[in-house]
Amino acid sequence: MFIPATNVRGLAAAEVRRQIAAMQEIRRDQPQPLLWIATDQEGGDVARLSPPLSRPPRISEILAHNPNLADRIAAVRQSAREQSRELADLGVNLNFAPVVDVDHGLINPEDWYTHIHQRAISNSYCDGLHEAGVHCTLKHFPGLGRVFADTHRGGASLDVSPHELEQTDWVPFRALMARPDAFTMLGHVTLTTIDREQPVSFSRAVVASLLRGHWHYDGVLVTDDFSMEAVYRSRAGIAEAAIAAINAGVDLVLVSYDADQYYAVMHGLLAAQRDGRLQPEALRQSDERLSRAAGTLTRPHPRDTGLSSSR
């Protein structure tokens, strides 16, 4: 479950905590694995739970105030540690951060939402989150630092060879994707040197062949928001894109900004399951990855909820 700002507007932290705890209590009673409770709490402008939580600083600002490398690493880790305590206290166990896109200095005045040049941050962020049991998310593969267009508003292309990306933009992804506490988020840019037709988030050539195949990556893959126009207005459409993503080896499809699109995605997936269009082996492998990740979750303790653990 993803929590955007609209879900917490006007609520105190205690109320958000109670709502999350109540949902986890239902999972215990079923019994089912704990829910992944995710949010976007990068810092600066991208802090979906601020308020009610304090607004963390943009990590690039922390780096600017600490010219020494060792001080930078310590300051980023401390900031992430403080964020993690607040998130874990609410019951959030997955943060869609950090941005590990390499900053190539592109600034598009028509880029309303992405602002990669302000959000690229240090790798030490995940360490701070991990201390309170919050998983991090590396985003946005294959790296948006070279991409001028904004995928919130339409399609975008990345016309760079895999060899060059291996030497630059993919270095932080390759360095961090082995972490058991890290998810990887797939962006909606089209990596034309591998797949000229489909965005990365539902490209079989990128997900199945490159990441799952050539890289042997067996961690959890989550898409960026499928409500973004690069997917919603793509040739495939949002439902077919979701089917393609799952079959390619994606584990979680995010639908956030336009919640109504959830119904189109679920209708398409259920119909594909009924018609035999969802690949059983892809589903089995995804179940294994999600179960393995869920096994690392810390079971939250009821607090200020009015609920007991054995209701």
The whole-angstrom separation of Cα 129 and Cα 136 is 7
Beta-carbon contacts of residue 287 (< 8 Å; ≥ 6 apart): none
CA-nearest of 1, 3, 95, 11 to 51 is 11
The whole-angstrom separation of Cα 50 and Cα 5 is 8
Which residues are catalytic, by number?
A: 152, 224
Assigned token pair, 35? 């829910």
Contact 47, 80 (CB under 8 A): no
Half-sphere exposure of 51 (CA within 13 A, CB side): 8
CA-nearest of 274, 270, 264, 262 to 237 is 264
Beta-carbon contacts of residue 9 (< 8 Å; ≥ 6 apart): none
Give the amino acid at 223. Answer: T
